[in-house]
Chains A and B, each alone.
Chain A
Amino acid sequence: MEKKRIHKDIVIIGAGMAGLTAALYAGRMNLDVLVLENGIVGGQIANAAGIENYPGFAKVSGKELMGTLQQQAESFGAVIDEFDSIVKVTLKGQPKLVETEEHIYEADAVIIASGMNRRKLPLPEEKRFAGKGVHYCELCDGHMYQDKVIAVMGGGNAAVDAANFLSKYASKLYLIHRSDFRADEVSQKRLKENPKAEIFLQTEIKSLQGEGRLESIEVLDKVSGKLRSLPVDGIFVNIGVVPNTELYKEELPLTPAGRVEAGEDCRTAIPGVFAAGDVREKEIRQLTTAAADGTAAALLAEKYLVKIKEGNPVW
Protein backbone atom coordinates (compact mmCIF):
# COMPACT_ATOMS: atom_id res chain seq x y z
CA MET A 1 0.00 0.00 0.00
CA GLU A 2 1.27 3.45 -0.91
CA LYS A 3 2.29 5.50 2.07
CA LYS A 4 0.25 8.58 2.87
CA ARG A 5 2.08 11.88 2.26
CA ILE A 6 1.57 14.52 4.93
CA HIS A 7 2.94 18.05 5.02
CA LYS A 8 4.46 19.47 8.20
CA ASP A 9 6.07 22.83 8.87
CA ILE A 10 8.77 21.19 10.94
CA VAL A 11 9.65 17.58 11.59
CA ILE A 12 11.81 17.10 14.65
CA ILE A 13 13.72 13.85 14.82
CA GLY A 14 14.21 12.84 18.42
CA ALA A 15 12.27 13.57 21.60
CA GLY A 16 15.03 14.22 24.09
CA MET A 17 15.74 17.56 25.73
CA ALA A 18 16.73 19.29 22.48
CA GLY A 19 13.88 17.86 20.42
CA LEU A 20 11.16 18.50 22.98
CA THR A 21 12.43 22.02 23.66
CA ALA A 22 12.33 22.71 19.92
CA ALA A 23 8.81 21.25 19.82
CA LEU A 24 7.73 23.49 22.68
CA TYR A 25 9.06 26.62 20.97
CA ALA A 26 7.72 25.62 17.56
CA GLY A 27 4.34 24.80 19.06
CA ARG A 28 4.18 28.20 20.75
CA MET A 29 4.84 29.81 17.35
CA ASN A 30 1.73 28.00 16.11
CA LEU A 31 3.69 25.85 13.67
CA ASP A 32 2.53 22.44 12.55
CA VAL A 33 5.20 20.33 14.22
CA LEU A 34 5.72 16.61 14.43
CA VAL A 35 8.26 14.90 16.66
CA LEU A 36 9.35 11.39 15.70
CA GLU A 37 11.04 9.22 18.30
CA ASN A 38 12.21 5.67 17.75
CA GLY A 39 13.22 5.09 21.36
CA ILE A 40 11.97 6.57 24.58
CA VAL A 41 10.22 9.94 24.68
CA GLY A 42 12.49 11.97 26.92
CA GLY A 43 15.66 10.41 25.55
CA GLN A 44 18.57 9.01 27.52
CA ILE A 45 18.02 11.40 30.39
CA ALA A 46 14.56 9.95 31.04
CA ASN A 47 16.44 7.05 32.68
CA ALA A 48 18.27 9.30 35.15
CA ALA A 49 17.20 8.67 38.72
CA GLY A 50 18.08 12.16 39.93
CA ILE A 51 19.20 15.28 38.08
CA GLU A 52 20.79 17.92 40.28
CA ASN A 53 22.28 20.31 37.74
CA TYR A 54 19.27 21.50 35.80
CA PRO A 55 18.69 25.13 36.81
CA GLY A 56 15.58 25.73 38.83
CA PHE A 57 15.30 22.16 40.11
CA ALA A 58 17.08 21.12 43.31
CA LYS A 59 16.65 17.49 42.30
CA VAL A 60 14.33 16.00 39.75
CA SER A 61 14.05 12.58 38.14
CA GLY A 62 14.58 12.30 34.40
CA LYS A 63 11.10 10.85 34.09
CA GLU A 64 9.50 13.82 35.84
CA LEU A 65 11.52 16.50 34.04
CA MET A 66 11.03 15.03 30.59
CA GLY A 67 7.43 14.04 31.25
CA THR A 68 6.64 17.65 32.15
CA LEU A 69 8.46 18.93 29.07
CA GLN A 70 6.53 16.48 26.89
CA GLN A 71 3.23 17.71 28.32
CA GLN A 72 4.37 21.30 27.85
CA ALA A 73 5.22 20.71 24.17
CA GLU A 74 1.99 18.81 23.54
CA SER A 75 -0.07 21.51 25.25
CA PHE A 76 1.10 23.92 22.54
CA GLY A 77 0.14 21.58 19.75
CA ALA A 78 3.26 19.53 19.09
CA VAL A 79 2.44 15.98 18.06
CA ILE A 80 4.79 13.23 19.20
CA ASP A 81 4.80 9.85 17.48
CA GLU A 82 6.94 7.21 19.18
CA PHE A 83 5.68 4.18 17.28
CA ASP A 84 6.20 5.05 13.62
CA SER A 85 9.91 4.50 12.99
CA ILE A 86 11.88 6.49 10.44
CA VAL A 87 13.25 4.42 7.58
CA LYS A 88 14.74 7.10 5.33
CA VAL A 89 15.32 10.84 5.16
CA THR A 90 16.00 13.05 2.14
CA LEU A 91 17.24 16.39 3.35
CA LYS A 92 18.41 18.21 0.25
CA GLY A 93 15.90 20.35 -1.64
CA GLN A 94 12.41 21.43 -0.58
CA PRO A 95 10.43 19.96 0.96
CA LYS A 96 12.50 17.55 3.03
CA LEU A 97 11.20 14.02 3.00
CA VAL A 98 11.03 11.95 6.19
CA GLU A 99 9.79 8.49 5.40
CA THR A 100 8.53 6.32 8.23
CA GLU A 101 7.12 2.80 8.24
CA GLU A 102 3.64 4.23 7.66
CA HIS A 103 3.97 7.74 6.19
CA ILE A 104 6.01 10.08 4.07
CA TYR A 105 6.29 13.44 5.77
CA GLU A 106 7.06 16.48 3.64
CA ALA A 107 8.67 19.04 5.91
CA ASP A 108 9.74 22.59 5.17
CA ALA A 109 12.37 22.31 7.88
CA VAL A 110 13.90 19.43 9.79
CA ILE A 111 15.51 19.57 13.19
CA ILE A 112 17.75 16.61 13.88
CA ALA A 113 17.84 16.01 17.61
CA SER A 114 18.41 12.30 17.49
CA GLY A 115 20.88 12.26 20.37
CA MET A 116 23.19 9.47 21.32
CA ASN A 117 23.10 5.81 22.25
CA ARG A 118 25.26 4.19 24.87
CA ARG A 119 28.47 2.75 23.57
CA LYS A 120 28.50 -1.04 23.70
CA LEU A 121 31.13 -2.87 25.69
CA PRO A 122 33.85 -3.56 23.11
CA LEU A 123 34.34 -7.23 23.92
CA PRO A 124 33.48 -10.13 21.62
CA GLU A 125 31.45 -11.88 24.34
CA GLU A 126 29.26 -8.81 24.92
CA LYS A 127 26.48 -10.19 22.71
CA ARG A 128 26.47 -13.53 24.49
CA PHE A 129 25.87 -11.87 27.86
CA ALA A 130 23.62 -8.98 26.74
CA GLY A 131 20.66 -9.11 29.10
CA LYS A 132 22.28 -12.02 30.91
CA GLY A 133 24.60 -9.99 33.04
CA VAL A 134 25.49 -7.12 30.70
CA HIS A 135 23.11 -4.16 30.85
CA TYR A 136 22.78 -0.59 29.63
CA CYS A 137 19.77 0.68 31.61
CA GLU A 138 20.06 0.91 35.38
CA LEU A 139 16.47 2.00 35.86
CA CYS A 140 15.10 -0.87 33.75
CA ASP A 141 17.32 -3.73 34.85
CA GLY A 142 18.75 -2.76 38.26
CA HIS A 143 15.94 -4.59 40.05
CA MET A 144 17.34 -7.90 38.76
CA TYR A 145 20.31 -7.55 41.09
CA GLN A 146 18.78 -7.36 44.55
CA ASP A 147 21.51 -8.43 47.01
CA LYS A 148 23.85 -9.30 44.15
CA VAL A 149 27.28 -8.05 43.13
CA ILE A 150 27.20 -5.35 40.47
CA ALA A 151 29.99 -3.66 38.54
CA VAL A 152 29.55 -0.35 36.73
CA MET A 153 31.89 0.39 33.87
CA GLY A 154 32.79 4.04 33.31
CA GLY A 155 33.99 7.11 35.17
CA GLY A 156 31.85 10.00 33.98
CA ASN A 157 28.84 11.52 35.70
CA ALA A 158 26.43 9.05 34.15
CA ALA A 159 28.49 6.07 35.36
CA VAL A 160 29.01 7.39 38.87
CA ASP A 161 25.36 8.37 39.23
CA ALA A 162 24.39 4.91 37.94
CA ALA A 163 26.64 3.33 40.57
CA ASN A 164 25.10 5.42 43.32
CA PHE A 165 21.62 4.44 42.11
CA LEU A 166 22.43 0.72 41.79
CA SER A 167 23.89 0.53 45.29
CA LYS A 168 20.33 0.42 46.59
CA TYR A 169 20.05 -3.07 45.10
CA ALA A 170 23.60 -4.36 45.28
CA SER A 171 25.22 -6.21 48.15
CA LYS A 172 28.54 -5.05 46.73
CA LEU A 173 29.24 -2.56 43.97
CA TYR A 174 32.37 -2.05 41.93
CA LEU A 175 33.03 0.98 39.78
CA ILE A 176 35.64 0.21 37.15
CA HIS A 177 37.14 2.83 34.89
CA ARG A 178 40.09 2.69 32.55
CA SER A 179 41.42 6.16 33.49
CA ASP A 180 40.67 8.72 36.21
CA PHE A 181 37.28 10.08 37.24
CA ARG A 182 35.57 12.47 34.87
CA ALA A 183 32.51 12.80 37.09
CA ASP A 184 31.94 15.97 39.08
CA GLU A 185 33.17 16.16 42.65
CA VAL A 186 29.73 15.88 44.24
CA SER A 187 28.94 12.56 42.55
CA GLN A 188 32.43 11.21 43.20
CA LYS A 189 32.24 12.08 46.89
CA ARG A 190 28.87 10.40 47.22
CA LEU A 191 30.23 7.19 45.72
CA LYS A 192 33.43 7.24 47.75
CA GLU A 193 31.38 7.52 50.93
CA ASN A 194 29.11 4.65 49.89
CA PRO A 195 30.00 1.65 52.11
CA LYS A 196 29.02 -0.84 49.39
CA ALA A 197 31.23 0.73 46.75
CA GLU A 198 34.75 -0.22 45.77
CA ILE A 199 36.42 1.87 43.08
CA PHE A 200 38.97 0.64 40.58
CA LEU A 201 40.48 3.42 38.48
CA GLN A 202 43.14 2.90 35.80
CA THR A 203 41.53 -0.51 35.36
CA GLU A 204 40.34 -2.07 32.16
CA ILE A 205 37.84 -4.86 31.63
CA LYS A 206 39.40 -7.61 29.53
CA SER A 207 36.86 -10.43 29.38
CA LEU A 208 33.54 -11.78 30.64
CA GLN A 209 33.04 -15.28 31.96
CA GLY A 210 30.06 -17.42 32.84
CA GLU A 211 27.95 -20.40 31.86
CA GLY A 212 24.78 -18.95 30.40
CA ARG A 213 24.82 -15.91 32.67
CA LEU A 214 27.69 -13.65 33.62
CA GLU A 215 29.58 -14.94 36.64
CA SER A 216 32.83 -13.00 36.67
CA ILE A 217 34.89 -10.44 34.84
CA GLU A 218 38.60 -10.25 34.26
CA VAL A 219 40.13 -6.83 34.82
CA LEU A 220 43.60 -5.43 34.24
CA ASP A 221 45.19 -3.02 36.68
CA LYS A 222 46.98 -0.76 34.22
CA VAL A 223 49.39 0.56 36.86
CA SER A 224 50.62 -2.76 38.25
CA GLY A 225 49.95 -4.76 35.08
CA LYS A 226 48.14 -7.41 37.15
CA LEU A 227 45.10 -9.30 35.90
CA ARG A 228 42.44 -10.34 38.38
CA SER A 229 39.08 -12.02 38.28
CA LEU A 230 36.14 -10.38 40.03
CA PRO A 231 33.03 -12.45 40.71
CA VAL A 232 30.06 -10.30 39.65
CA ASP A 233 26.43 -11.04 38.85
CA GLY A 234 25.88 -8.11 36.52
CA ILE A 235 27.65 -5.20 34.92
CA PHE A 236 26.14 -1.91 33.79
CA VAL A 237 28.02 -0.28 30.97
CA ASN A 238 28.39 3.48 30.93
CA ILE A 239 31.50 4.05 28.83
CA GLY A 240 30.28 6.86 26.66
CA VAL A 241 27.89 7.38 23.82
CA VAL A 242 27.74 7.19 20.05
CA PRO A 243 25.72 9.66 17.98
CA ASN A 244 22.54 8.54 16.25
CA THR A 245 23.42 9.78 12.79
CA GLU A 246 23.27 6.68 10.63
CA LEU A 247 20.29 8.08 8.69
CA TYR A 248 22.08 11.26 7.65
CA LYS A 249 25.59 10.11 6.82
CA GLU A 250 24.99 10.16 3.05
CA GLU A 251 23.80 13.77 2.99
CA LEU A 252 25.25 15.65 5.92
CA PRO A 253 28.88 16.33 6.78
CA LEU A 254 29.67 14.41 9.95
CA THR A 255 32.71 14.61 12.20
CA PRO A 256 34.98 11.55 12.53
CA ALA A 257 33.04 10.71 15.71
CA GLY A 258 29.82 10.76 13.70
CA ARG A 259 28.31 13.99 15.00
CA VAL A 260 26.61 16.53 12.76
CA GLU A 261 28.67 19.59 11.92
CA ALA A 262 26.72 22.73 12.81
CA GLY A 263 27.45 25.93 14.69
CA GLU A 264 25.79 27.49 17.72
CA ASP A 265 22.90 28.50 15.45
CA CYS A 266 22.38 24.78 14.78
CA ARG A 267 22.36 25.36 11.01
CA THR A 268 23.83 22.41 9.13
CA ALA A 269 25.33 22.49 5.63
CA ILE A 270 21.87 21.88 4.15
CA PRO A 271 19.40 24.80 4.10
CA GLY A 272 16.39 24.10 6.29
CA VAL A 273 18.12 21.39 8.27
CA PHE A 274 19.18 22.02 11.86
CA ALA A 275 21.08 19.84 14.30
CA ALA A 276 20.36 20.28 17.99
CA GLY A 277 21.54 18.73 21.22
CA ASP A 278 24.11 16.00 21.74
CA VAL A 279 24.05 14.98 18.09
CA ARG A 280 25.62 18.32 17.13
CA GLU A 281 29.40 18.68 17.29
CA LYS A 282 30.24 20.91 20.22
CA GLU A 283 32.49 20.95 23.23
CA ILE A 284 29.90 20.95 26.01
CA ARG A 285 27.04 18.48 25.97
CA GLN A 286 24.71 19.01 28.89
CA LEU A 287 20.95 19.12 29.40
CA THR A 288 21.14 22.89 29.52
CA THR A 289 23.03 23.15 26.24
CA ALA A 290 20.59 20.71 24.64
CA ALA A 291 17.72 22.96 25.73
CA ALA A 292 19.58 25.96 24.31
CA ASP A 293 20.08 24.17 20.99
CA GLY A 294 16.41 23.23 20.79
CA THR A 295 15.48 26.84 21.39
CA ALA A 296 17.84 28.21 18.73
CA ALA A 297 16.88 25.58 16.17
CA ALA A 298 13.14 26.18 16.54
CA LEU A 299 13.40 29.98 16.44
CA LEU A 300 15.70 29.94 13.41
CA ALA A 301 13.59 27.29 11.68
CA GLU A 302 10.60 29.60 12.03
CA LYS A 303 12.59 32.41 10.39
CA TYR A 304 13.53 30.02 7.59
CA LEU A 305 9.87 29.10 7.05
CA VAL A 306 8.99 32.78 6.75
CA LYS A 307 11.73 33.23 4.14
CA ILE A 308 10.43 30.23 2.20
CA LYS A 309 6.95 31.73 2.12
CA GLU A 310 8.47 34.98 0.89
CA GLY A 311 10.26 33.02 -1.83
CA ASN A 312 13.62 34.02 -0.46
CA PRO A 313 15.00 31.08 1.54
CA VAL A 314 18.42 32.50 2.45
CA TRP A 315 20.54 30.29 4.68
Chain B
Amino acid sequence: MVKVYSINDCPWCEKVKKYLKSKNVEFEEHNIEENDVDRDACYELTGDTMVPITTVNDKDYVLSFDKARLDEMLGL
Protein backbone atom coordinates (compact mmCIF):
# COMPACT_ATOMS: atom_id res chain seq x y z
CA MET B 1 0.00 0.00 0.00
CA VAL B 2 1.20 3.47 -0.88
CA LYS B 3 1.52 5.77 2.13
CA VAL B 4 1.78 9.55 2.15
CA TYR B 5 3.16 11.20 5.27
CA SER B 6 1.82 14.73 5.49
CA ILE B 7 0.78 17.57 7.79
CA ASN B 8 -2.35 19.70 7.95
CA ASP B 9 -1.38 22.83 6.01
CA CYS B 10 1.07 21.79 3.35
CA PRO B 11 0.61 22.77 -0.30
CA TRP B 12 3.13 20.19 -1.54
CA CYS B 13 1.36 17.44 0.42
CA GLU B 14 -1.87 18.46 -1.29
CA LYS B 15 -0.15 18.38 -4.67
CA VAL B 16 1.20 14.87 -4.12
CA LYS B 17 -2.21 13.60 -3.01
CA LYS B 18 -3.93 15.26 -5.98
CA TYR B 19 -1.40 13.70 -8.32
CA LEU B 20 -1.88 10.22 -6.89
CA LYS B 21 -5.65 10.63 -7.18
CA SER B 22 -5.30 11.83 -10.78
CA LYS B 23 -3.42 8.60 -11.51
CA ASN B 24 -5.94 6.46 -9.60
CA VAL B 25 -3.30 5.39 -7.11
CA GLU B 26 -4.83 4.30 -3.84
CA PHE B 27 -2.94 5.54 -0.82
CA GLU B 28 -3.14 5.87 2.94
CA GLU B 29 -2.65 9.30 4.41
CA HIS B 30 -0.58 9.52 7.60
CA ASN B 31 -0.73 12.90 9.29
CA ILE B 32 2.40 13.27 11.38
CA GLU B 33 1.10 16.36 13.12
CA GLU B 34 -1.86 14.51 14.51
CA ASN B 35 -0.36 11.12 15.21
CA ASP B 36 2.89 10.46 17.07
CA VAL B 37 3.09 6.89 15.77
CA ASP B 38 3.05 8.21 12.22
CA ARG B 39 5.59 10.87 13.11
CA ASP B 40 7.92 8.22 14.51
CA ALA B 41 7.39 6.01 11.46
CA CYS B 42 8.22 8.91 9.13
CA TYR B 43 11.34 9.65 11.14
CA GLU B 44 12.38 6.01 11.11
CA LEU B 45 11.93 5.85 7.34
CA THR B 46 13.67 9.08 6.39
CA GLY B 47 15.68 10.18 9.41
CA ASP B 48 13.68 13.40 9.40
CA THR B 49 10.16 14.79 9.57
CA MET B 50 10.08 16.71 6.31
CA VAL B 51 6.91 16.11 4.35
CA PRO B 52 5.36 15.08 2.07
CA ILE B 53 6.94 11.64 1.99
CA THR B 54 5.50 9.02 -0.32
CA THR B 55 6.51 5.41 0.23
CA VAL B 56 5.38 2.24 -1.42
CA ASN B 57 7.03 -0.38 0.76
CA ASP B 58 8.17 1.45 3.90
CA LYS B 59 11.66 1.40 2.45
CA ASP B 60 11.85 3.40 -0.78
CA TYR B 61 10.44 6.90 -0.54
CA VAL B 62 10.11 10.16 -2.45
CA LEU B 63 10.41 13.52 -0.72
CA SER B 64 8.12 16.36 -1.80
CA PHE B 65 6.52 16.41 -5.27
CA ASP B 66 9.01 14.89 -7.65
CA LYS B 67 6.93 13.62 -10.54
CA ALA B 68 9.70 11.69 -12.27
CA ARG B 69 10.69 9.88 -9.09
CA LEU B 70 7.09 9.22 -8.06
CA ASP B 71 6.36 7.77 -11.50
CA GLU B 72 9.41 5.57 -11.27
CA MET B 73 8.70 4.33 -7.76
CA LEU B 74 5.03 3.70 -8.43
CA GLY B 75 5.48 2.36 -11.95
CA LEU B 76 3.25 5.05 -13.48
Partner of A46, one of B11, B33, B48: B11
Among residues of A, the one whose C-beta sits closest to the C-beta of B49 is: A144
Neighbouring B residues of A46 by C-beta, 8 Å:
11
Q: How far is the CA of A78 from the CA of B10 in the complex (A)?
A: 24
Does B35 belong to the interface (CB within 8 Å)?
A: no
Does B4 belong to the interface (CB within 8 Å)?
A: no
Does A63 belong to the interface (CB within 8 Å)?
A: yes
**Which size class do A's interface residues fall under?**
10 to 19
Distance in Å: Cβ of A211 to nearest Cβ of chain B:
14
Neighbouring A residues of B49 by C-beta, 8 Å:
143-144
Q: Is the pair A85, B18 in contact by a Cβ cutoff of 8 Å?
A: no
Does A132 belong to the interface (CB within 8 Å)?
A: yes
Partner of A40, one of B12, B32, B48: B12
Does A82 belong to the interface (CB within 8 Å)?
A: yes
Q: Is the pair B11, A42 in contact by a Cβ cutoff of 8 Å?
A: yes
Neighbouring A residues of B51 by C-beta, 8 Å:
140
Does B15 belong to the interface (CB within 8 Å)?
A: yes
Q: Is the pair B7, A63 in contact by a Cβ cutoff of 8 Å?
A: no
Does A47 belong to the interface (CB within 8 Å)?
A: yes
Partner of B50, one of A41, A47, A63, A131: A131
Q: Is the pair A82, B48 in contact by a Cβ cutoff of 8 Å?
A: no
Q: Is the pair B22, A83 in contact by a Cβ cutoff of 8 Å?
A: yes
Q: Is the pair A139, B10 in contact by a Cβ cutoff of 8 Å?
A: yes
Interface string of B20-62 (1 = CB under 8 A from A): 0010000000001100000000000000111100000000000
Residues of A within 8 A of B (CB): 40-42, 46-47, 63, 82-83, 85, 131-132, 137, 139-141, 143-144
